[in-house]
A and B are shown apart, each in its own frame.
Chain A
Amino acid sequence: MTPPDAVRTVGLTKRFGSHAAVDGIDLVVPAGSVYGFLGPNGSGKTTTIRMLLGLITPTHGEIELLGHPVPSRVVDALPRVGALVEGPAFHPYLSGIDNLRRLDAADRTADPATSGRRLGEALDRVGLAAAAGKRYRAYSLGMRQRLAIAAALLTPKDLMVLDEPTNGLDPQGTREVRSLIASLADDGTTVLVSSHLLSEVEQVCTHIGVMHVGRLVTQGSAAEIRRQQEAEAWVDTDQPEQAARVMRELGLSDVRITPHGAVGRLGEVAPEKVVTACVHAGLAVTRFVVDAPTLEEIFVGLTGEGFDVSG
């Protein structure tokens, strides 16, 4: 049995009054993927995630979460879904572990007999074991975030939905979240991670979707997306015209002369062929660079604005 897509939506739309926060998106999160759900703040990521989890009823469109229709059968899907939605939220006058205990008690699929062990493991995994008995009120923002992740890990999950998991974390915490995502993926868990910080998730994502003003402007595997924008080969040499001619012969397009040599779009041409051809033509190649656009550059092109890299 091939696993179905972990998440699939068709024409998913949410209107608040006349304003469409999410406008007809067809989201596909393949099972086993790490799906980077990207977009600037206010682009509809959180509204989409809330709809996936049954917290908000869509105005139009359909959702399947782990094969169950949402919101009608969301209760059947959610036991296998861990979620971190829009930051942590717990009872401030309860300790961290008591907060987890409450969520575990609310879970009808959780085995009470193993509750203590599972709580300990989840706290260990996020590095909160030492602070488990402290009141939530006294937690730092980073600790709160970790507790929320621990809450999502109380029972085994097929899908983790992490909405801005690195918010409020220091660089060290951000690295830990990345490695946590990687380890979840290794275990076979599908991860849907949303972020307005591209750099944080770029390295771990196998799939990417980009939201812009309520629409999903692009979606696919990371490799596919990179391929959408072709890489350019830069050849530095003292004979620019020669180099340009060789590149045109090889089939590169948009070949231009630069002060130090020539540049052209690679297309289907393998980069190493360019170097070989230049050397065979007797050119002195002083520098060879293949410049693939970063996702950042792709997204600037898609959304017309950059990601907030300062936050």
Chain B
Amino acid sequence: MTDLVLTPNIPQPDDFYAELVATHESLSKEESDALNARLILVLANHVGDNTVLKQALEAASQGARHPLR
């Protein structure tokens, strides 16, 4: 079983990040939120492994600046 990759895994990180931000440019907050939601679903389907997805949900929760309730 594959574990969630939490080490650097994107070959050109700056390129990806710039595209991510650019995709949101000129969108309203509402449109951006909706886009993010669609993006999560597209990526989750690509992962397609409930264990890895669960690990991703945990990693995202742990990554909060302030402890989550």
A and B assemble together: no
